[in-house]
Every structure is written in C-alpha cells, then in structure tokens.
Amino acid sequence: MDTFGALSPDKLVHGVVATMLYFVVGIVVLVLGFLMIDLLTPGSLRREVFVERRPNAVVIASATYLSITTVIVVAILTSSDSLGQGLLDVAVYGVIGVILQGLTMVILEAAIPGRFQDHVEDASLHPAAFAAATVLLGVGAITAAALT
C-alpha cells in the first residue's frame, strides 16, 4: 500500500521549467514597461527614481510596475494549459498592458495642469503623484480584469 501517493518527477520538472519561463517573460514585459514609461516621462524617470530619489517619480514608477505586474499575474493565471501558448498569452497580454499604461501616461501628460515633468522632478511629495498613480493602478486593474 502506497501511503504517500505516486511521485511524478516529470510533473515537477515541467512545473520548474514553466516557472522559469514565465519568470523570464514577466521580467521582459516589466523591463519593456519601465523603458516605455521612462521614454514617455519627460526627462529620465530612471534618474529621477534611482539617482535623484524624487518621491513623486517613485510613486509614478511604482504604480506602473504594480499595474503591469498585476496584468502579468492575471495573464499567467488565466493562460492556456499548454506551456507554449501560455507563454505567448502572457507576452501578448503583458505588452497590451504596457501599451495601455503608455497611453495612460500620454493622457495624464495632457490632462494634468502644468508640466508633468515638474511634478515628477519635485523634491517634495505632491498629492498629484498619488492621483496619477491611482489612475495607473486603475488601468492595470481594468486590463487584468479584462483577461478573466
């Protein structure tokens, strides 16, 4: 009598490989998202976040990363059971999430009074950063929900 159940090394190996591949696809999409937001933000968002340590830039960047990550996670959870198709699903929906975040940044640039860059570069934390971040998070949530 087998009290521990059957072991399936093939299933374990498949799971490990799938995890690693989804990780790679997810990281690629996140990097694309960062590059896109960096390009759409006047000036260098990367510099503002990591060198100048501007709190508003950190709020905007963090909201973007969280939004794109939410889309990636939901895309993984709802992707095809076939690994190849699942990876393609995640890549495509992740890129759609990145594009929608970029579109949102363009809309925010047009809608926010004054120069968006002034808000990003401000050394003091500004409520507008939270308002913009909320919009970005909302877009991520809507995009993720559309995948289900």
Per-residue pLDDT of the chain (148 residues; tens, 9 = 90+): 556 777 778 888 999 999 999 999 999 999 999 999 888 887 788 888 999 999 999 999 999 999 999 999 999 999 988 999 999 999 999 999 999 999 998 898 888 887 777 778 889 999 989 999 999 999 999 999 998 7
- What is the C-alpha to C-alpha distance for residues 125 and 25, in angstroms, rounded to an integer? 33
Nearest to 143 by CA among 98, 104, 97: 97
The answer to whether 89 and 80 are in contact (CB under 8 A) is: yes
Could you tell me how far CA 62 lies from the centroid of its own chain?
9
Q: What pTM did the predictor assign?
A: 0.85
The answer to whether 75 and 93 are in contact (CB under 8 A) is: yes
Nearest to 61 by CA among 144, 136, 139: 136
Q: Quick one: how many helices (H) and strands (E) in the chain?
A: 6, 0
Residue keyed to tokens 């949530």:
141
Nearest to 136 by CA among 109, 108, 114, 94: 108
- Quote the radius of gyration of the chain (alpha carbons, Å): 19
